[in-house]
Amino acid sequence: MRRRCGLGIRLTPTGSDGDRDTPGRLARDDVAAALSAAFEPPDLVESPEAIPSFHRRYSPQNGTRAAIRRRRVGSSGNGGGDRMAWGYNRFADHRRVLLRSGSTVIATRAGPIEYVQAGPQAGTPVLLFHGSPGGYDQRWLLDPLLDLRCRLIAWSRPGYLRTPLTTGAGFPEQADAATGLLDELGVSKVVAYGISGGGPSALEFARRQPARAAGLVLESAVTRSYAPEIPILARAVFLTRYGTWAAAALSRLRPRAVVGDFVRQESTLDDRARRRAVDWIMAEPGRREITRRLILSLTPYEDRAPGLQNDLARFAALDDSLTAGVGCPALVLHGSHDGDVDPGHAHHAAATIPGAVLHIVPQGWHVLRLSTGHGSALEATRTFLETVR
């Protein structure tokens, strides 16, 4: 089966597939709506006070669609494009301010590395190798580990945010760069935690640094050749700066539709199971916030594009030898219905890493934090960490 890449939202024409509020049915008009609404960038920043004004102006009760049609990009000549660029630049600049205020850039022997830490200094060090696309700002995906007395260290892999690609383009070089970061922080051993596209770098770290790898966790991780099919429309929405900007707007304008399409794209669940998954996510504000933050972690796209393009090229060149030579304890977590990284990656890792523990999450999809069986994955992680402390 050909696999899709990343946070893909599947777009359908207006009125297709019946009810437009059905999970997994997001119309193309909604993208135009989001771009038009997003001309006022304070509505898209992470300040909660911006949300009510956004919904007042663009709610269906206030004639959203008619208002948006009047404000369509380019409807008054070239000024529309200028307004769009101005709005995007303000949004991107604000995102950069937020991102840079939350991280530190440190000089290492490999080059500059952006990172952040959380949790007790005396806790079990866990080094996050984030997915593709991503950055240090995906650290919060591991927040449940803070309750397990872990010290989380998250870094932006080369090509993402403020870690330049020159710090280490290849996965072996990224593993060496991570080692340089640990040297600067005075951390002797860590549990390497690779999520999705961070799997190859985490595996290389475990292979190349056996004395520094106390353990290895692979979650929904790439462990062998991976060449996803990226539909043209998904590429336009999620692999462009304006498209990711629109997706950020839609995560607030049409949250249920975004969640539904997200689960559809990233899972192989049938319609009934997918609807249950969407209902479960929407029932709790914290889970809805995870979806929003995942989409925000695509922005600004141009600050993450070099890393993503590098990853995709190198994923395709991988072979089955990536897991060879890993000698540390390993835990492999994967959803039974992952629609992005096939569960075969997890079975391959478990079969080729000596002593690896495989935990398949029933009804789990690519984002385990948003899977109904996430509790079992967390319990498996707790047990694993107790054995490697």
Task: Determine the pLDDT at residue 265.
Answer: 87
pLDDT given at position 270: 97
Instruction: Give the span between the Cα atoms of 43 and 94, in whole angstroms.
Output: 11
d(CA 91, CA 71): 18
CATH number of 104-227+305-388: 3.40.50.1820
Asked if 38 contacts 246 with a C-beta cutoff of 8 angstroms, the reply is yes
CB of 201 closer than 8 Å to CB of 179: no
Q: Using an 8 Å Cβ cutoff, are 6 and 133 in contact?
A: yes
Rounded Cα distance between 43 and 50, Å, is 5
What backbone phi and psi angles, to 5 degrees, belong to 155? -130, 155
- Check: CB of residue 378 under 8 Å from CB of residue 147: no
- Whether 276 and 123 have beta carbons less than 8 Å apart is answered as no
Residue 346: helix, strand or coil by DSSP? helix
The pTM (predicted TM-score) of the whole model is 0.84
Cβ contacts of residue 215 below 8 Å, gap of 6+? 191, 192, 328, 329, 330, 331, 384, 385, 387, 388
State the pLDDT at residue 84: 85
pLDDT at 32: 53
Kindly list the domain boundaries of the chain, sorted by start residue: 104-227+305-388
Give the closest residue to 86 by CA, choosing from 75, 94, 98: 94
Contact (CB, 8 A) for 222 and 197: yes
- Low-confidence stretches of the chain (pLDDT beneath 70): 1-81
Q: Are 231 and 4 in contact (CB under 8 A)?
A: yes
Residue that is written with structure tokens 């967390």 in the block = 378
Residue 293: CB atoms within 10 Å = 15
Q: Hey, what long-range contacts does 100-107 have (CB within 8 A, 24 or more apart)? A: 100/162, 102/136, 102/137, 103/136, 103/137, 103/156, 103/161, 103/162, 105/162, 105/163, 106/181, 106/184, 106/185, 107/184
Which tokens in the block code for residue 240?
């462009």
Please give the Cα distance from 345 to 334 (Å, whole number). 9
User: Where does residue 283 rank: exposed (0-12), middle (13-18), buried (19+ CB within 10 A)?
Assistant: exposed
Give the pLDDT score at 13: 38
Q: How far apart are CA 159 and CA 112, in angstroms?
A: 11
Q: How many whole angstroms separate alpha carbon 64 and alpha carbon 250?
A: 13
Rg (CA), the chain: 21
So what's the pLDDT on residue 230?
80
